[in-house]
Chain A
Amino acid sequence: MLFDTFEYWIFFALVATVFYSLPFRLGKLTLLGASYVFYMWWDVRFVALILTSTLIDFALGLLLERAAGRRRKVLLIISLVVNLGILGFFKYYNFFATSLADLLRIPDNSLVLQIVLPVGISFYTFASLSYTIDVYWGKIRAVRNLIDYAFFIAFFPHLVAGPIIRAKGFLPQIQNWTRPSAAVIQTGLVLALVGLIKKVVFADRFAIISDGYFNDIAGHPGWLAAWSAATAFAMQLFFDFSGYTDIARGCAKLLGFEFPLNFARPYLATNVVQFWSRWHITLAAWVRDYLFLPMVRGTRSKMRIYGAIAVTMVLVGVWHGASWNFVVWGAYMAVITIVYRLLQQFAGGNAGFARVVDCRFATPLKVLMTFACFAVIGAVIFRTASLHDAITVVRSMFAWSGAAGESVFDIEAITLLSISFVLAVLEERLQICEKIAIAPAYLQVAAFVVLFATLELFPLAGSQTPFLYFQF
């Protein structure tokens, strides 16, 4: 049941109607039941996994709070082993098996198992882990109510593709739920509509363009073809994932819950650090808080910090998927992050260089470079089926002495790119979406008409691409 399907919205309307017609305690149970139904829609068997993870971490949370000394550490390790064990087995077993088979030069399929990857496992595993780690660190108290905890893990808007929510921010919302105001509901509606538009109008169109190139790389020679296709995929990835997140946040708001921001015009970032504060913000914050900071706590060693950056980025890459492409993608991200830090240090000791870099007129160039490094080249490694393909495309991108080839962009794609750019700039400056809910009624009506009409008239006819982040 994907967010851009008729079934989902019927499901949501039914669930919301029942939820609001019951007292919150019963409504909460309804939402929990609906969340499990939503999850079972893909495969009934998956629910066993999420229930196992929920029960174990709920129990471990309570035990952690009561335990002291070495026992606490043992309990945390149990939580890590169970959660990461389940994730590792379902997501990475076959990757390691085929890599080992390659190493031992035995047939690939001799070690491979027929494993179906449960949707959203990476997202709810991280949500669950954040809970036990926070209890271990004493940042939050263990939750006493199993229903509340199960609801935090399984609440359907975030279940299969985030944003990654944390117990500290979400559990108090369950305990102190109040009926949302008109402005909150309208913001939720705007977010859901904007998210749908991002997916069915923008992402699906860019998907057709990028698929045309990446499914037949050899048939599209030249650097212009490679750059334009990589840009198309970068746009698809952004609109697809941020569209999903917007719908998730919108649906949560419509039910009176708040999810954290996950995307904030990432392609307008002027540098690496800013990029990660705008792209998949909840994942970046998760790895910062639970992986990077613990590794560098108390250290001043630059080498150790760079090592921590490398480990964190490679793990972020691997989190996205079990393939060497994602390992290389993570390593690539680590390299440019470290290079950026080195440049920052250099600028710190060189006033002239710093003046040039910080000059306002340099901002567009910085945005362009960050976009090219992170979004476009990164997108190639992310999108291609194998490392060999990734290398082929990256080589094409920099083969400037050869033929340019043909751009994969047609007039429609250029129009979409222009609209995307204008909307991103306006949103960055004016935050239009958030202001609709507090605008005068006539402006609200006009805004909703535009959103509804866009959804009526401009989705790509006869085509639907599944959300990319479901595979993670």
Chain B
Amino acid sequence: MFWLLIIAVIAALYAGIMYAAPEVVKPSGEVAQSRSGARAYVTPTLALLVLLVADAAVFHGELYSKVLKWNSSAGGVAIHVEGEVNRVRSGLREIAVMGDSRLVQGFSARLADELSQPKGFKFAKLAVRGTYPCIWYYMLREVDPSADRYRAIVIPFKSDDPDAYGNMGNRSVDISMAAPLLRYTDAFSFAGSFREWKNRYAAFTACILRGSAYRADLADLLEHPAERLSQAKRRMALLGATYHYDGRQEDLSDLSYDTESGKLTFPPNTSSQKRLTLEQNVKTLQADDGQAESPGYWTRRIVRRYEKSRTAIIFFRLPRGPLASVVRPMQGTDLADTGLAAEGATILNPLLFADLERPEYYFDANHPNAMGRQHITERLVGELLSRLDQRPATDRLR
């Protein structure tokens, strides 16, 4: 079969070149000067309109979002939003938990439900790896269009600036992540939130021609069509499976840091990549001056979206890493200084997770393991219930 294929390819090449019959190249003549200049723009403009309509039909609707690679940046966001939009409301008081990969690993919606349902609460976890406040804003806009679905929205405090996170330097990922949620009217505000003109242009284009944000995904679809179509059919089951995920079992118990010498001792068999991220984590902690960064445009936009709503916006600080308690113990000063409280947001105690900043609760430099996940969930739920349980549903939390 292989050799038949090779012979077929050679025959096709042979026939192709014979057909081309290349000779000495004849320079082409001048193009006909048949039409007036104004008409030059009619057909390209029409073509652009056709493209806009085709893009809207394929990419702005549900047609393409259903086949997005479910574990890609865009697909992860799309599937979580689709799942939450289609989820039948529980009738209980619902709390949405936004977040990035630290919450993907560090928070269990199943455990949170077990702890809170007796008291009439239901948790909706909308954590997707790599996301940041801009994406959370657009996710909330989709899943909660009238800004009254949730009793509270819980958000880990995170900078608006993805450049602050090493792995987020590639801005094209941010744009494709937001793509499933963008509307034509977002073109200027979304593009304007980027600093570089190149990214602004890409962000603007993603709002108008959404297909441009799905290039990597489309290439993957063309390469693995059968796999992707089968994945598309199972995507809701895949999302459901994450609800029962218990977290990673491994830990970093043998990791230590000598404050005198500044020397890191790694557990045996730690990969070079993991060592690098642990070293980076220590450097970040050393450079941390303990002051909370002022919240950016998207964080404030989330708060303002719910300004007149009964939904409480609750910010908290996630534990900072496996060595944080040794390198730079958490101080009391925190998010209260950021001005978010003055805008109506609720700020949880910054020391809530201080004792979880230890190696036994982590499986790498940034992500809590199963034990860390359990403790974070229990504490967060406990703290939220103590604040929300006492108040009537119509009362805005302060």
Interface residues of chain A, those whose CB is within 8 Å of chain B, are: 5-7, 179-187, 189, 258, 260-261, 264-265, 268-270, 274, 277-278, 360-361, 363-364, 367, 411-412, 421-422, 424-425, 428-429, 431, 434, 437-438, 441, 444-449, 451-453, 456-462
Contacts and interface: CB of A to CB of B under 8 A. Distances in A.
Contacts of A458: 215, 218-219
A461 B74 CA distance: 13
Interface string B208-235: 0101101110110001000000000000
Contacts of B25: 261, 264-265, 274, 277-278
Given A456-B209, A458-B218, 6 more contacts: A183-B31, A189-B44, A265-B25, A363-B18, A364-B14, A461-B176
B43 A448 contact: yes
A461 B40 contact: no
A10 to B, nearest CB: 8
B67 to A, nearest CB: 14
A424 B13 CA distance: 12
Given A181-B37, A429-B20, A445 B47 contact: yes
B51 A453 contact: yes
Given A181-B33, A425-B16, A445-B47, A411 B198 contact: no
Given A449-B47, A461-B219, A363 B211 contact: no
Contact of B211 (A180, A451, A457): A457
Nearest to B15: A364
Contacts of B46: 445, 448
Contacts of A447: 47
Contacts of B51: 449, 452-453, 456
Interface string B196-212: 01100100010001011
A461 B215 contact: yes
B188 to A, nearest CB: 16
A427 to B, nearest CB: 9
B27 interface: yes
B20 A180 contact: no
A181 B18 contact: no
Contact of B223 (A269, A411, A446): A411
Contact of A367 (B22, B54, B173, B219): B22
A269 B21 CA distance: 10
A44 to B, nearest CB: 20
Interface string B68-90: 00000000000000000000000
A279 to B, nearest CB: 10
A460 B55 CA distance: 19
Prevailing SS type, chain B contact patch: helix
A181 B36 contact: yes
A445 B50 contact: yes
A360 B215 contact: no
B28 interface: yes
B12 to A, nearest CB: 9
B137 to A, nearest CB: 23
Nearest to A270: B22
A454 B32 CA distance: 27
Nearest to B22: A268
B17 A367 contact: yes
Contacts of A411: 223
Given A183-B33, A363-B17, A274 B216 contact: no
B20 A425 contact: yes
Nearest to A453: B51
B164 interface: no
B17 A268 contact: yes
Contacts of A363: 17-18, 21-22
Contact of B40 (A182, A269, A459): A182
Contact of A456 (B27, B44, B212): B212
Which 6 A/B pairs are nearest by Cβ-Cβ distance? A448-B47, A182-B35, A185-B40, A182-B40, A461-B216, A6-B201
Chain B interface size range: 35 or more
B199 to A, nearest CB: 9
Contacts of A425: 16-17, 19-20
B33 A422 contact: no
Contacts of B44: 186, 189, 448
B48 interface: yes
B287 interface: no
Prevailing SS type, chain A contact patch: helix
B44 to A, nearest CB: 5
Nearest to A367: B17
B344 to A, nearest CB: 38
Given A182-B40, A360-B21, A412 B219 contact: yes
B376 to A, nearest CB: 33
A429 B31 CA distance: 18
B263 interface: no
Nearest to A278: B25
B39 interface: yes
A172 B30 CA distance: 16
A364 B215 contact: no
A199 to B, nearest CB: 15
A431 B201 CA distance: 33
Contacts of A438: 31-32, 34
13 contacts: A181-B37, A182-B40, A183-B31, A183-B33, A189-B44, A261-B25, A261-B27, A265-B22, A274-B23, A425-B20, A438-B31, A456-B55, A461-B172
B39 A182 contact: yes
Nearest to A180: B37
Given A441-B43, A462-B172, A424 B197 contact: no
Contacts of A5: 198
B29 to A, nearest CB: 9
A191 to B, nearest CB: 10
Contacts of B55: 456
Contacts of B18: 360-361, 363-364
A33 B32 CA distance: 31
B261 to A, nearest CB: 37
Nearest to B212: A456
A365 to B, nearest CB: 9
Given A183-B34, A363-B21, A364-B18, A457 B43 contact: no
B216 A182 contact: no
A288 B46 CA distance: 45
A360 B23 CA distance: 11
Nearest to A179: B37
B189 interface: no
Given A179-B37, A186-B44, A364-B14, A457 B31 contact: no
A434 B209 contact: no
A189 B197 CA distance: 24
A434 B20 contact: no
B265 to A, nearest CB: 32
A283 B17 CA distance: 26
A462 to B, nearest CB: 4
Contacts of B24: 274, 277
B117 interface: no
Contacts of A462: 170, 172-173, 216
Nearest to A185: B40
B133 to A, nearest CB: 22
Given A277-B25, A428-B22, A452-B48, A181 B43 contact: no
A335 to B, nearest CB: 23
B6 interface: no
Contacts of A422: 16
B63 interface: no
B28 A431 contact: yes
Given A269-B22, A441-B43, A461-B176, A434 B16 contact: no
